Structure 1
Amino acid sequence: MTGKRLAAVAAVVLASLHAGAALAAPAPVLNAIGVENEYADVISQIGGKFVHVTAIETDPNTDPHTFEASPQIAADIANADLVVKNGVGYDAWTDKFLSATAKKERRVIDVQHLLGLPDNTPNPHLWYKPTTMPVVAKQIAAELSAALPAQKAYFEANVKKFDESLKPWQAAVAAFKAKYNGTEVGVTEPVGDYLLQAAGMHIATPWTLETAIMNGTDPAPQDVTAQNALLSEHKIKVFVYNQQVTDPLTQSFLALAKKNNIPVVGVYETMPMPGYTYQSWMLAETQALSRAVADKVSTETLLASK
């Protein structure tokens, strides 16, 4: 074999080796954070194998409003390529970590700003609104595509799958509204209000009582009296309470509901685990409302999803 032919063969072999090495190289994986685990779940569904996702607020047995960050969380945020936060003051503590650990290529989705909501939006529990997560999922795909352009089609396909998977929940909300529109409901605080409103329910609890309980301030005595009357006089069909945050006042409301055979439904600020996805969680909450109104069945705690 001539020297030229040897050189040509060697070049082909080297090219094959390089191609094989390129094929064997692992795809880049982005570090992503969903401050609330419901957002982390959606990041995982859209990013799939191209994201490593960390959820910060994950415990459905604690009050997210009293969350305290740790040095490990600060480190996670510092290393993140993508952060999704709720906004509306709900997770304001993240802002100082984002500012303290400036990272030029880091992308941040503030759901409040994404939805164009003002800072004085009264109810921060945006994930209970059926129109929220489709917008968030689309933006997650856009941010991931900007970071990994070669995977844009993959992310966009996952958005379509996600939107499709929301249809059972959307259908359940529509069916509830068609059958029980205007149903009176009492609540402890506005955690699930967006869902209740989407389902056509009328929230009878004074708004000032809801916000006082949410913000940990003393409610007006007249509001407490009004809430007690809703329960003792059977003016509501179901009582919805924040399963994560109870105190003597909310426990007294819960006891009064049970005494008067008013079904109760517990809602969560943090996606319950294990086994739930965002969409199966929302569907489970809607089905619990339906059981309460139709069959007077209480669902205080969502069981682990299978």
Structure 2
Amino acid sequence: MRVSRTFRLPAAAVGLSLTAVLTLTACGSDNATDTAAGPLTVVASTNVWGSVAQSVAGDKVEVTSIITEPSSDPHSFETTPSDAAKVSDASLVVYNGGGYDPFVEDVLSSNGGNSDQRTVNAFGLLESQSQVRDQGEANEHVWYDVGTVDATAQAIADELGELDPGNAATYQANADTFSGRLKQITAVTDGIAATQGGAPVAQTEPIAHYLLEESSVRDVTPEGFTSAVENGNDPAAADIAATRQLFTDKQVRALVYNVQTDDDVTRDVRATAEAAGIPVVEVNETLPEGLDYIQWQTNTAKALAAALQ
């Protein structure tokens, strides 16, 4: 069952209860960099960014993720007072940005003017690279972009190093180790690009845009179909028919399927692909249980490679 989305639009106001709790919590955290007030804390919008942050923080800092359940949609997620307090009181907030998790910016903007609170916005780091990297139209699902994830880890290390100078070298070493481990993912995507570059694929929505880009494969799905699904709308009949024809005519080599936002339309598309013998590559938006970021993304890239063989 797909949760309705409000894509690329600011989240709805979270209500008077949120305003009240922020007023209280802001009084108790006037300076997020004052480590004497208590141990450092990192709060991430989703467990994807929580995993990246934990890789850098190691055992020095507690990392908490707001969204951990596959059924929760960051586009339309509304914080509880407890969630808002966690974000408000955090020493460092790590979030996706780009309209993907607007609830974080809602809390930050209502945070009693706490100018000392530190944040890392992953999508902002993607935008900062736009002059040296040909990104085309930016896609906010930047946890599939290895370069942006690397930059995010380095930014987390910088922020934690300033908050906790005594452990700055440890945070930087952890970030560098994480950066090295990212090569496990790029080794797979580079292999796909070398052997399957240009292969046509379809997606139910453009979640894995950067994975496909780094693998040099082509997403040939009608834009009207993926845009409608991503916005929580029903695609036009013509777009559904054109998408189904991609499989019945075997015009694509694989279907990339977001298992967290399926509905009757996307399930029908998947069934059409499977009936035509087209492999399905499952992707999702939160970290599967028992895996860290590197393991998850490596497995996803390997699944794409296997589907294209």
TM above 0.5, one fold?
yes
1:280 aligns with 2:300: no
- Distance between the aligned counterparts of 1:122 and 1:168, measured in 2? 25
Question: Where in structure 2 are the equivalents of 1:246-261 lying within 5 Å?
Answer: 246-261=262-277
> Contact 2:225 / 2:236 at 8 angstroms: preserved in 1?
yes
Question: Where in structure 2 are the equivalents of 1:1-150 lying within 5 Å?
Answer: 29-102=39-112, 103-116=114-127, 122-150=138-166
How many residues are paired up? 266
Sequence identity percentage: 35
Structure 1 stretches of 4+ with a deviation exceeding 6 A read none
Q: CA deviation at 1:155?
A: 0.9
- Distance between the aligned counterparts of 1:265 and 1:115, measured in 2? 25
- Distance between the aligned counterparts of 1:61 and 1:267, measured in 2? 14
Deviations 1:8-30 (A, max 9, x none): xxxxxxxxxxxxxxxxxx9x731
> Contact 1:234 / 1:260 at 8 angstroms: preserved in 2?
yes
> Contact 2:68 / 2:287 at 8 angstroms: preserved in 1?
yes
Task: Between the two structures, name the one with larger relative contact order (CA 8 Å, sep ≥ 6).
Answer: 2
> Contact 1:29 / 1:49 at 8 angstroms: preserved in 2?
no
Deviations 1:103-161 (A, max 9, x none): 3432011122222269x955210110121111001100010011111211111111111
> Contact 1:64 / 1:269 at 8 angstroms: preserved in 2?
no
Q: CA deviation at 1:243?
A: 0.8
In structure 2, what is the equivalent of residue 172 of structure 1? Answer: 188
Q: CA deviation at 1:92?
A: 1.0
The structure that has the greater radius of gyration is: 1
- Of stretches 216-225 and 37-46 in structure 1, the one that deviates more from structure 2 is 216-225
Question: What TM-score, normalized by structure 2, do the two folds share?
Answer: 0.82
> Contact 1:29 / 1:50 at 8 angstroms: preserved in 2?
no
> Contact 1:29 / 1:51 at 8 angstroms: preserved in 2?
yes
- Of stretches 260-269 and 55-64 in structure 1, the one that deviates more from structure 2 is 55-64
- Distance between the aligned counterparts of 1:267 and 1:64, measured in 2? 16
The residue identity in structure 1 corresponding to 2:241 is T
In structure 2, what is the equivalent of residue 291 of structure 1? Answer: 306
Deviations 1:146-197 (A, max 9, x none): 1111211111111111111111111111011101111110110001111011
In structure 2, what is the equivalent of residue 303 of structure 1? Answer: none
Q: CA deviation at 1:227?
A: 0.3
In structure 2, what is the equivalent of residue 216 of structure 1? Answer: 232
Question: What TM-score, normalized by structure 1, do the two folds share?
Answer: 0.83
Q: Tell me the C-alpha RMSD between the 2 structures.
A: 1.8
- Distance between the aligned counterparts of 1:221 and 1:235, measured in 2? 19
What SS does structure 1 have at the residue aligned with 2:127? coil
